[in-house]
Amino acid sequence: MKKKLLGIMMGATLAIILTACGGGNGDKNADEGASVNDAEAIVNKSCISCHGENLEGRNGPALDKIGATLDKEEILDVIENGRGAMPAGLIEGDEAVKVAEWLSEKK
């Protein structure tokens, strides 16, 4: 009985260790894809009410080609500090950086 219990405990411990150590495939492209999806999701949640579902502009200016006019840092500045009728801080931190990078690629 003790051997059986010890075997079950060792098996469970091994399973926990392998689960904690596994899963990292090091695929950089998968991370980049997740970042793009995250940025799109953030924009869909926070920006489309003013900038339109396709970023074509509505109450706010069109952003569908904003990367041709502003670079990532300039876009980030607008997101963080606002401009015109857009209030500051609608998106903050890492999310703001992801959105600025994503929008800067819209040309």
86 beta partners = 83
Q: What is the CATH number of the domain that holds 47?
A: 1.10.760.10
Q: Is residue 23 part of a domain?
A: no
Dmax (CA) of the chain:
75
Q: What is the pTM of this model?
A: 0.66
pLDDT per position as a tens digit, 72-89:
999 999 999 999 999 999
pLDDT per position as a tens digit, 12-56:
666 676 565 555 444 444 444 556 679 999 999 999 999 999 999
Domains: count for the chain? 1
Print the domain residue range for 79.
Answer: 29-104
Q: Which residues, at least 6 apart from 24, have a Cβ–Cβ distance to it below 8 Å?
A: none
